Chain A
Amino acid sequence: GDSVTQMEGPVTLSEEAFLTINCTYTATGYPSLFWYVQYPGEGLQLLLKATKADDKGSNKGFEATYRKETTSFHLEKGSVQVSDSAVYFCALTSNTGGFKTIFGAGTRLFVKA
């Protein structure tokens, strides 16, 4: 079945460092890909998305490109801030079986001042 694999955390960075969180997926058909972010004590919220191959999603300085050839959707940010400390989830939605969204295990990011 469909699955999402993302790098294990926690990831600890200093402020202004470059961030990469790897995400790869397995899916039938042509899924849409998402990154969600969960701040402490809150629910998940959509960070960015891409709906077809070679699309780049971007928001708040974060970017991810839908790579069909490598089945990847890695999250990047050029300069992280303390406020970016959160848990990041990679996810896919396929239209097989009712638009079920599958999440990766989540990667916790700590950013130090």
Chain B
Amino acid sequence: DAKTTQPPSMDCAEGRAANLPCNHSTISGNEYVYWYRQIHSQGPQYIIHGLKNNETNEMASLIITEDRKSSTLILPHATLRDTAVYYCIVRVSGRDDKIIFGKGTRLHILP
């Protein structure tokens, strides 16, 4: 079973920041938080990951709480192309470690 809990859907106005929450209260000390998204009829796309510090890249920011039991993915200026299902995943950082997907959050960007 997936180790994360996400809201099933969210709406966000185009141009505004989209904040997607994720709960992972049973995360282990060596597990990272990963975010992927899946645009319709495509394979999942990696967005960002982190262990305990906040992370930022060209796509998004990841804010992890101090107790590591939850995190928030921030898309700073959402566009229509950001409409997708977003998956929050916890796993050990290693190429042999499989990913178990939960149901994710379906993000709708509204024009």
Partners in one complex: no
